[in-house]
Amino acid sequence: MLTQILATMLPVFLIASCGALYGRFRSPDIQGLNTLNMELFVPLLVFGVLADQQAPLQDYAWLALAGVAIVLGSGLILWPLARLLKLDVKTFLPPMMFNNSGNMGIPVIVFAFGEAALPAAVVLFIVEMLLHFTVGLHMLNPHAPLRHLLRIPVVLASLAGLTLNLSGLALPDWLLESINMLGGVCIPLMLFTLGVRMLDVDFSDWKLGLLGAIACPASGLLLAWPFVVALDLPGLQLAALWVFAALPPAVLNYMVAEQYRQEPHRVASLVLIGNLGSLAVLPVTLGLVFASPLLQP
Protein backbone atom coordinates (compact mmCIF):
# COMPACT_ATOMS: atom_id res chain seq x y z
CA MET A 1 0.00 0.00 0.00
CA LEU A 2 2.83 2.40 0.80
CA THR A 3 4.35 1.65 -2.60
CA GLN A 4 1.01 2.46 -4.29
CA ILE A 5 0.70 5.75 -2.42
CA LEU A 6 4.24 6.76 -3.29
CA ALA A 7 3.65 5.83 -6.91
CA THR A 8 0.67 8.20 -6.91
CA MET A 9 2.24 11.17 -5.14
CA LEU A 10 5.82 11.15 -6.33
CA PRO A 11 4.84 12.25 -9.88
CA VAL A 12 3.36 15.39 -8.29
CA PHE A 13 6.74 16.37 -6.92
CA LEU A 14 8.65 15.30 -10.02
CA ILE A 15 6.54 17.49 -12.32
CA ALA A 16 6.87 20.44 -9.96
CA SER A 17 10.62 19.85 -9.93
CA CYS A 18 10.66 20.01 -13.73
CA GLY A 19 8.96 23.40 -13.50
CA ALA A 20 11.52 24.61 -11.00
CA LEU A 21 14.39 23.38 -13.16
CA TYR A 22 12.97 25.04 -16.28
CA GLY A 23 12.27 28.26 -14.40
CA ARG A 24 15.84 28.33 -13.15
CA PHE A 25 17.08 28.90 -16.71
CA ARG A 26 14.06 30.57 -18.34
CA SER A 27 11.42 33.12 -17.35
CA PRO A 28 8.08 31.65 -18.47
CA ASP A 29 4.91 33.76 -18.40
CA ILE A 30 3.31 32.15 -15.34
CA GLN A 31 0.37 34.58 -15.29
CA GLY A 32 -0.47 33.76 -18.90
CA LEU A 33 -0.21 30.01 -18.32
CA ASN A 34 -2.45 30.22 -15.26
CA THR A 35 -5.06 32.25 -17.13
CA LEU A 36 -5.09 29.72 -19.97
CA ASN A 37 -5.44 26.87 -17.50
CA MET A 38 -8.29 28.43 -15.54
CA GLU A 39 -10.23 29.60 -18.59
CA LEU A 40 -9.84 26.53 -20.81
CA PHE A 41 -8.20 23.37 -19.47
CA VAL A 42 -9.72 23.24 -15.96
CA PRO A 43 -13.29 23.90 -17.22
CA LEU A 44 -12.88 21.15 -19.80
CA LEU A 45 -11.65 18.75 -17.12
CA VAL A 46 -14.68 19.44 -14.92
CA PHE A 47 -17.13 19.22 -17.81
CA GLY A 48 -15.57 16.00 -19.08
CA VAL A 49 -15.74 14.28 -15.68
CA LEU A 50 -19.46 15.06 -15.48
CA ALA A 51 -20.37 14.51 -19.10
CA ASP A 52 -19.05 10.96 -19.31
CA GLN A 53 -21.53 10.02 -16.57
CA GLN A 54 -19.04 8.07 -14.48
CA ALA A 55 -20.75 9.49 -11.40
CA PRO A 56 -24.50 8.71 -11.06
CA LEU A 57 -25.12 11.77 -8.91
CA GLN A 58 -28.55 10.75 -7.65
CA ASP A 59 -27.00 7.79 -5.79
CA TYR A 60 -24.40 9.93 -4.03
CA ALA A 61 -26.44 12.73 -2.48
CA TRP A 62 -25.45 12.01 1.13
CA LEU A 63 -21.81 11.59 0.21
CA ALA A 64 -21.90 14.95 -1.59
CA LEU A 65 -23.50 16.57 1.46
CA ALA A 66 -20.77 15.18 3.70
CA GLY A 67 -18.15 16.53 1.30
CA VAL A 68 -19.74 19.99 1.47
CA ALA A 69 -19.71 19.86 5.28
CA ILE A 70 -16.02 18.91 5.38
CA VAL A 71 -14.97 21.69 2.98
CA LEU A 72 -17.01 24.47 4.56
CA GLY A 73 -16.63 23.19 8.11
CA SER A 74 -12.83 23.25 7.85
CA GLY A 75 -12.99 26.98 7.24
CA LEU A 76 -15.26 27.51 10.24
CA ILE A 77 -13.11 25.41 12.57
CA LEU A 78 -9.83 27.03 11.55
CA TRP A 79 -11.05 30.63 11.34
CA PRO A 80 -10.49 31.26 15.10
CA LEU A 81 -6.98 29.79 14.78
CA ALA A 82 -6.18 32.14 11.90
CA ARG A 83 -7.43 35.12 13.88
CA LEU A 84 -5.54 34.05 17.00
CA LEU A 85 -2.27 33.78 15.07
CA LYS A 86 -3.01 36.99 13.14
CA LEU A 87 -2.90 35.24 9.77
CA ASP A 88 -4.57 36.65 6.68
CA VAL A 89 -7.69 34.48 6.44
CA LYS A 90 -7.78 34.93 2.64
CA THR A 91 -4.34 33.37 2.44
CA PHE A 92 -4.65 30.65 5.06
CA LEU A 93 -8.25 29.38 4.97
CA PRO A 94 -8.78 28.52 1.26
CA PRO A 95 -5.88 26.01 1.17
CA MET A 96 -7.22 24.47 4.39
CA MET A 97 -10.69 24.09 2.88
CA PHE A 98 -10.09 23.11 -0.74
CA ASN A 99 -8.08 19.93 -0.91
CA ASN A 100 -6.24 17.98 -3.56
CA SER A 101 -9.22 15.82 -4.56
CA GLY A 102 -8.34 15.74 -8.26
CA ASN A 103 -4.75 14.86 -9.04
CA MET A 104 -4.20 13.13 -5.67
CA GLY A 105 -7.61 12.14 -4.28
CA ILE A 106 -8.94 10.26 -7.29
CA PRO A 107 -5.75 8.20 -7.92
CA VAL A 108 -5.26 7.32 -4.23
CA ILE A 109 -8.89 6.21 -3.81
CA VAL A 110 -8.81 4.11 -6.97
CA PHE A 111 -5.43 2.56 -6.12
CA ALA A 112 -6.62 1.75 -2.60
CA PHE A 113 -10.15 0.49 -3.29
CA GLY A 114 -10.28 -0.33 -7.01
CA GLU A 115 -12.26 0.99 -9.96
CA ALA A 116 -15.54 0.46 -8.09
CA ALA A 117 -14.63 3.46 -5.89
CA LEU A 118 -14.16 5.81 -8.86
CA PRO A 119 -17.73 7.26 -8.83
CA ALA A 120 -17.39 8.22 -5.16
CA ALA A 121 -14.02 9.86 -5.83
CA VAL A 122 -15.47 11.79 -8.78
CA VAL A 123 -18.46 13.04 -6.77
CA LEU A 124 -16.18 14.40 -4.03
CA PHE A 125 -13.95 16.00 -6.65
CA ILE A 126 -16.97 17.76 -8.18
CA VAL A 127 -18.11 19.01 -4.77
CA GLU A 128 -14.68 20.44 -3.98
CA MET A 129 -14.32 22.09 -7.38
CA LEU A 130 -17.75 23.70 -7.34
CA LEU A 131 -17.22 25.09 -3.85
CA HIS A 132 -13.74 26.31 -4.75
CA PHE A 133 -14.98 28.33 -7.69
CA THR A 134 -18.01 29.72 -5.89
CA VAL A 135 -17.41 30.07 -2.14
CA GLY A 136 -13.62 30.11 -2.53
CA LEU A 137 -13.54 32.92 -5.08
CA HIS A 138 -16.13 34.87 -3.11
CA MET A 139 -13.84 34.65 -0.07
CA LEU A 140 -11.04 36.30 -2.04
CA ASN A 141 -13.28 39.00 -3.45
CA PRO A 142 -16.29 39.34 -1.11
CA HIS A 143 -17.47 42.60 -2.66
CA ALA A 144 -18.04 41.09 -6.08
CA PRO A 145 -21.73 40.36 -6.83
CA LEU A 146 -22.48 36.65 -6.75
CA ARG A 147 -23.88 36.84 -10.27
CA HIS A 148 -20.35 37.52 -11.48
CA LEU A 149 -19.48 33.96 -10.47
CA LEU A 150 -21.64 32.76 -13.35
CA ARG A 151 -19.17 34.39 -15.74
CA ILE A 152 -16.36 32.14 -14.55
CA PRO A 153 -15.66 29.40 -17.11
CA VAL A 154 -15.28 26.65 -14.47
CA VAL A 155 -18.65 27.47 -12.91
CA LEU A 156 -20.35 27.48 -16.31
CA ALA A 157 -18.66 24.19 -17.22
CA SER A 158 -19.82 22.65 -13.95
CA LEU A 159 -23.43 23.71 -14.49
CA ALA A 160 -23.37 22.44 -18.07
CA GLY A 161 -21.83 19.14 -17.03
CA LEU A 162 -24.33 18.65 -14.20
CA THR A 163 -27.22 19.36 -16.54
CA LEU A 164 -25.93 16.86 -19.07
CA ASN A 165 -25.30 14.22 -16.41
CA LEU A 166 -28.75 14.51 -14.86
CA SER A 167 -30.50 14.56 -18.25
CA GLY A 168 -28.99 11.20 -19.17
CA LEU A 169 -27.73 12.46 -22.51
CA ALA A 170 -24.43 11.09 -23.75
CA LEU A 171 -21.85 12.91 -25.84
CA PRO A 172 -20.33 11.19 -28.89
CA ASP A 173 -17.21 9.25 -27.97
CA TRP A 174 -15.00 11.30 -30.29
CA LEU A 175 -16.15 14.57 -28.68
CA LEU A 176 -15.80 13.28 -25.13
CA GLU A 177 -12.32 11.96 -25.89
CA SER A 178 -11.26 15.35 -27.25
CA ILE A 179 -12.62 17.12 -24.16
CA ASN A 180 -10.86 14.67 -21.82
CA MET A 181 -7.55 15.07 -23.63
CA LEU A 182 -7.65 18.86 -23.35
CA GLY A 183 -8.87 18.75 -19.76
CA GLY A 184 -6.04 16.39 -18.86
CA VAL A 185 -3.56 19.16 -19.66
CA CYS A 186 -4.53 21.15 -16.59
CA ILE A 187 -3.12 18.90 -13.86
CA PRO A 188 0.50 18.69 -15.04
CA LEU A 189 0.40 22.35 -16.06
CA MET A 190 -0.74 23.32 -12.55
CA LEU A 191 2.11 21.35 -11.04
CA PHE A 192 4.64 22.74 -13.53
CA THR A 193 3.73 26.37 -12.81
CA LEU A 194 3.80 25.65 -9.08
CA GLY A 195 7.37 24.44 -9.47
CA VAL A 196 8.34 27.64 -11.29
CA ARG A 197 6.74 29.75 -8.58
CA MET A 198 8.55 27.81 -5.85
CA LEU A 199 11.80 29.42 -7.00
CA ASP A 200 10.50 32.67 -5.49
CA VAL A 201 9.16 31.20 -2.26
CA ASP A 202 10.49 32.75 0.91
CA PHE A 203 11.25 29.69 3.04
CA SER A 204 10.95 31.80 6.14
CA ASP A 205 7.28 30.80 5.77
CA TRP A 206 8.07 27.16 6.55
CA LYS A 207 6.32 27.48 9.91
CA LEU A 208 3.10 28.52 8.16
CA GLY A 209 3.46 25.61 5.75
CA LEU A 210 3.99 23.16 8.60
CA LEU A 211 0.96 24.54 10.42
CA GLY A 212 -1.13 24.03 7.30
CA ALA A 213 0.21 20.52 6.77
CA ILE A 214 -1.18 19.60 10.19
CA ALA A 215 -4.33 21.72 10.28
CA CYS A 216 -5.69 20.78 6.84
CA PRO A 217 -6.03 17.00 7.33
CA ALA A 218 -6.74 17.33 11.06
CA SER A 219 -9.78 19.55 10.51
CA GLY A 220 -11.04 17.36 7.67
CA LEU A 221 -10.75 14.13 9.64
CA LEU A 222 -12.40 15.71 12.68
CA LEU A 223 -15.38 16.74 10.55
CA ALA A 224 -15.57 13.45 8.67
CA TRP A 225 -15.86 11.28 11.74
CA PRO A 226 -19.52 12.10 12.63
CA PHE A 227 -20.57 11.36 9.03
CA VAL A 228 -18.62 8.11 8.98
CA VAL A 229 -20.41 6.98 12.15
CA ALA A 230 -23.89 8.37 11.50
CA LEU A 231 -24.53 7.99 7.76
CA ASP A 232 -25.64 4.66 6.39
CA LEU A 233 -23.36 4.85 3.38
CA PRO A 234 -21.89 1.90 1.45
CA GLY A 235 -18.39 0.93 2.51
CA LEU A 236 -16.69 2.33 -0.57
CA GLN A 237 -18.34 5.71 -0.11
CA LEU A 238 -17.33 5.85 3.56
CA ALA A 239 -13.77 4.88 2.71
CA ALA A 240 -13.58 7.51 -0.04
CA LEU A 241 -14.95 10.15 2.34
CA TRP A 242 -12.29 9.31 4.92
CA VAL A 243 -9.48 9.66 2.37
CA PHE A 244 -11.03 12.87 1.01
CA ALA A 245 -10.97 14.38 4.51
CA ALA A 246 -7.25 13.64 4.91
CA LEU A 247 -6.08 15.16 1.61
CA PRO A 248 -3.61 18.09 1.55
CA PRO A 249 -4.25 21.52 -0.04
CA ALA A 250 -5.01 21.52 -3.76
CA VAL A 251 -2.46 22.87 -6.22
CA LEU A 252 -5.31 24.96 -7.61
CA ASN A 253 -5.15 27.14 -4.47
CA TYR A 254 -1.84 28.48 -5.70
CA MET A 255 -3.26 29.24 -9.15
CA VAL A 256 -6.20 31.16 -7.68
CA ALA A 257 -3.91 33.07 -5.31
CA GLU A 258 -1.69 33.94 -8.27
CA GLN A 259 -4.63 35.26 -10.26
CA TYR A 260 -6.01 37.31 -7.37
CA ARG A 261 -2.53 38.36 -6.13
CA GLN A 262 -3.33 36.99 -2.69
CA GLU A 263 0.17 36.29 -1.36
CA PRO A 264 0.87 33.49 -3.88
CA HIS A 265 4.32 32.86 -2.38
CA ARG A 266 2.85 31.98 1.01
CA VAL A 267 0.07 29.90 -0.56
CA ALA A 268 2.70 28.01 -2.55
CA SER A 269 4.44 27.16 0.73
CA LEU A 270 1.16 25.91 2.21
CA VAL A 271 0.53 23.74 -0.85
CA LEU A 272 4.04 22.30 -1.17
CA ILE A 273 4.65 21.50 2.49
CA GLY A 274 1.09 20.25 2.87
CA ASN A 275 1.53 17.80 0.01
CA LEU A 276 4.87 16.68 1.45
CA GLY A 277 3.13 16.09 4.76
CA SER A 278 0.56 13.89 3.06
CA LEU A 279 3.29 11.30 2.57
CA ALA A 280 2.89 10.64 6.30
CA VAL A 281 -0.83 11.38 6.75
CA LEU A 282 -2.31 9.29 3.93
CA PRO A 283 -0.66 5.96 4.80
CA VAL A 284 -1.92 6.29 8.39
CA THR A 285 -5.41 7.18 7.16
CA LEU A 286 -5.53 4.23 4.76
CA GLY A 287 -4.32 1.94 7.52
CA LEU A 288 -7.23 3.05 9.71
CA VAL A 289 -9.67 2.51 6.84
CA PHE A 290 -8.58 -1.05 6.27
CA ALA A 291 -8.42 -1.82 10.01
CA SER A 292 -11.92 -0.56 10.86
CA PRO A 293 -14.89 -2.89 10.22
CA LEU A 294 -17.09 0.18 9.82
CA LEU A 295 -15.02 1.44 6.90
CA GLN A 296 -14.44 -1.83 5.07
CA PRO A 297 -15.23 -1.22 1.38
Cβ-based neighbours of 32, under 8 Å, separated by 6 or more: none
Residue pair 126/164 in contact (Cβ under 8 Å)? The answer is: no
Angle at 12 between CA 93 and CA 295, to 5 degrees: 70
* Residue 81 in this model has a pLDDT that exceeds 60: yes
For helices 264-291 and 206-230, angle between their N-to-C axes, nearest 10 degrees = 40
Domain ranges of the chain: 30-291
pLDDT (0 to 100) of residue 297: 45
Q: Which CATH class is domain 30-291?
A: mainly alpha
Q: Region 45-65: what's the mean pLDDT?
A: 80
pLDDT band for position 230 (cuts 50, 70, 90): confident
Q: pLDDT (tens digit, 9 = 90+) per residue, 149-159?
A: 778 888 899 88
Sequence-distant (6+) residues with CB within 8 A of 154 are 38, 42, 43, 46, 129, 133
| pLDDT tens-digit readout, 161-198 | 888 888 888 888 899 999 989 988 888 888 888 788 77
pLDDT of residue 57: 66
252 sits in which H/E element: helix 252-260
pLDDT of residue 2: 66
pTM for the whole thing? 0.81
Assess contact for 136 and 175: CB atoms under 8 A.
no
